[in-house]
Structure 1
Amino acid sequence: MILYYIIFCFGGLLLLYTFKRFSKTKRKINPNETKVSPLQTAWQKTKQQAALWHYYFIDGKQQNLMRNVLIVCIVYFITLIINTQFIRFNSFMVTAIFAVLFVITVWKWGRRRNRKDFEVSFPEVIQVLNSATTAGAGLLQALERCGRDIKGRLGDEFKYIYRRLAIGEDVTTVLEDSYTRWPYKEFYYFITIVRINLEKGGQMKEVINRLGRVIADSRKMEQKKRAMTSEARMSAMIVGAFPLFFFIFMKFQMPENFDFVISDPKGRLVLYYVLGSELFGMGIIWWLMKKAT
C-alpha cells in the first residue's frame, strides 16, 4: 500500500515538472505571447457578432435605423393584435418568442443577403483591380476605383477602406475591421493579398488572377451543392409547413378543438409537444443539410 502511494506521488511530481518545463520552453519560443482568458475571447466574439447583426439590421446604412425600428414596432403590434383576437397566448410569451424570432430572422436574412451581394459584386472587384493594375495604377488608386465603379454595399465598403487608408490609418486595422462585416474566406484571401502588397510590394496582378480563378471554381462547386440538395430542402420546408396550415385550418373548421388546444392546460401540452417536436425535427434536418454542404 505504501509503495502505491509512493508511485502515485512520484507520478504527480513528474507531471508537474514536465508541465513546468513545457511552459518555460514555450515562453522561450514565443516570449511576446499574451495570455487571453476564455472569458475575454468570448466577450470579444460576442461584440463582433453584435456589431455584425447591427450592420445587417441597418443594411449597411445608418440612416435606415429609424425606418427599420418603426417597421419592427408595427409588426410587433400587429402580432399582439392577432394574438389577442385569435391565438390568445400569454403576452409575455408572445413578446419573448417575437424577440427571439426577430433576432434570428435579421441574422439569417441579413447574412444571406450579404453573401448574395458579395457573390455578385466581388468578381467585379477582381476585374476592376486587374484593369487598374494593368493600366499601371497603384493599389490605392485601384481601391478607389473599386469604390467608384462597384455599386451596392461592397462598393461603399471599398470607398470606406480607401478613405481610411488615404488618411494614414493602419492597414491591418482597416482591413480586419472590413473583414468583420464581410467574413468570407475569399475576402480574407483578398485582404491578405492587399495587406502584403501595401506593406512589402509584390506581383499584384498575377496573384489577383489566381484568386479570381479560385473564386470562380468555388462558386461552381457551391452551385452544384445547392442543386444536389435543393429537393431535400424543399421537402423539409413543405413538411415543416404542414402543422402551421393544419393549425389555421383547425381554427376555422374545428373551433372546439382549437379552443381545447389553446385554452385547456391538457391541450396546451399537446401544442407544446407539437411545437417542440417540429423544432427538434427541423433542427436535425438543418444539421444534416449543413454537414452535407
Structure 2
Amino acid sequence: MDVNIILMTALLATLLGLLVMAFAGPSADKARKRRVASIRGRHSESAEAIMEARMRKAISNRATGTEMKMLVSLIPNPELLTKRLRMTGKKWTLSQYMTASAVIFLLIVGFLELRGFPMLMAIMVGLAASLGLPHWWLGKLINKRVNQFNAKFPDALELLTRGLRSGLPIAETLGVVSSEIPGPVGEEFKLVTERIKIGKSMEQALQETADRLGTPEFQFFTITLSIQRETGGNLAETLSNLATVLRQRAQMKLKIRAMSSESKASAYIIGVLPFLVFGMICYINFNYMKPFFTPDPVGLFGLSTMQVVGLGGMCWMGIGAYIMAQMVNFEI
C-alpha cells in the first residue's frame, strides 16, 4: 500500500508540473512590450511601420519552439502534427498536445496500478490511450471543421460570382467573403486576404490555405483561379459552375451516408455490445469477473489467461471494424 501511495504522489506531482509548464501564460513584461509595439505600429503612418505591423500580425500565432522541448522532441514527425493542429482552427501548440498526452498516460497508469493491474499492462494501456485518444480527438475536430467549411463554401463561391459580375476585382471580393460568410470559410478567406496584403501572390496565399485544409473542394477553387489567370475567360461563370458541382457532390455524399447508415449502425452495435455486457457483468457480479483482473505470474507478460484472451478478442474486433469501415467508405 505504501508503494501505491508513493507512486500516486509521484504521478500527481508530475501531472501538476506538466500542467503548469504547458499552460503558464507569458510574462507580464513580455506582454507589456508586445502591447506597446502593437500600439506604436498601429498609430505610425509610415509605410514601413504598417508593413511591419501586418507581418507581426500574420506570424503572431506561430509557435515559439521554446516550450516543453523535451516532450516535443519525442514527436517523430512534428511538421505533420503541426499541420493537423492548424487544421483544427484552434491555437494549440505542440507542447500543449504532448502535455495532454502525458497527462492521459499518467492518469491511466495510476488508475490501473491502484486497481491491481500488472505494471507492464498498465504502461501498455496508458501508451495506447495517450497516443490514440488525442489523435482521435484531433481527427474529429478536423472533420467537423472541414464539414462546416464545405457546407458554406458554395455560398462563398456564389458571393464571389455576384461580386465579379458587379465589377469588383477578385481581391476585393475575397475580402467581402471574409466579412460576410461566418465560420471557417470567413476565417480562411480572411487569412488569404491578409497574406495578399503582406506581399504574397494570390496563388501562393490560396495554395497555403488549400494545403492546410486538405479538401478537394478548395483545391478545385485554387486550380480554377490559377488556370483563369493564365488563360483568361469568364471567371464568374466558371465559379458559378464550380459552386453547382460542389453542391451536387455534397448531395451525393448525403445520399451515400443515408444508404450506409444501416450498416454503420450495425457495426456500432456489434462493436459496443461486448464492452457493454462486460461492464454490466462487472457491476452486477464482480466476483464472477474477478479472475479477469487477477494477475497471473505464469501468464504472458504477467497477464492472466483471461486477459490474454480479452486482448486477442479486441484485436480481432479492431480488424473487423476496420474492414466494415472500408466497406462503407466511398470516394466521390
TM-score when normalising by structure 1? 0.73
For 1:42, the equivalent position in structure 2 comes to none
Among candidates 242, 259, 262, match of residue 231 of structure 1: 262
1:139 Cα offset (Å)? 0.3
CA drift at 1:240: 0.3
Aligned residues of 1:139 and 1:198 also touching (Cα < 8 A): no
Is 1:83 aligned to residue 122 of structure 2?
no
Which region of structure 1 is more displaced relative to structure 2, 100-109 or 212-221? 100-109
Q: Structure 1: where are the runs of 5+ without partners? A: 1-45
Q: Once the two structures are superposed, what CA deviation does each residue of 1:174-213 show, in whole Å capped at 9, x if it has no partner?
A: 2221112221222111011223344554311100111011
Change (3 A) 1:244 1:86: farther
Larger Rg: 1
Secondary structure at 1:210's aligned position in 2? helix
Larger fraction in helix? 1
For the 8 Å contact 2:160–2:174, the answer to whether it is kept is yes
1:292 Cα deviation after fit: 8.3
| In structure 2, distance between residues paired with 1:97 and 1:133 | 52
* Aligned residue in 1 for 2:321: 282
Which residue of the partner structure matches residue 273 of structure 2?
242
- Distance in structure 2 (CA, Å) of the matches to 1:53 and 1:269: 35
Overall identity of the aligned pairs, in %: 20
Question: Is 1:150 aligned with 2:181?
Answer: yes
CA separation of 1:286 and 1:229: change in aligned 2, threshold 3 A:
same
Greater relative contact order (CA < 8 Å, ≥ 6 in sequence) = 2
Q: Which amino acid aligns with 1:233?
A: K
Trace 1:1-293 onto structure 2 (pairs within 5 A): 49-56=80-87, 59-62=88-91, 79-80=108-109, 82-86=111-115, 88=117, 90-198=121-229, 201-263=232-294, 264=296, 265-290=304-329
Question: TM-score, normalising length from structure 2?
Answer: 0.66
The structural deviation recorded for 1:261 is 1.7
- After TM superposition, where is structure 1 displaced by more than 6 Å over at least 4 residues in a row? 63-74
Residue 53 of structure 1 contacts residue 106 of structure 1 at CA under 8 Å; is this kept in 2? no
Compute the RMSD of aligned alpha carbons.
2.8
Unpaired stretches in structure 2, ≥5 consecutive residues: 1-76, 297-303
Are the structure 2 counterparts of residues 64 and 146 from structure 1 closer, same or farther at C-alpha, using a change threshold of 3 Å?
farther
Deviation at 1:214? 0.6
- Residues 173-182 or 210-219, more deviating: 173-182
Q: What is the distance in 1 between the residues matched to 2:92 and 2:131? A: 24
> For residues 162 and 331 of structure 2, what CA distance do their matches in structure 1 show?
38
Aligned length: 246
Aligned AA (1:280): I
- Residue type at the aligned position of 2:89: G
Higher alpha-carbon deviation: 73-82 or 99-108 = 73-82
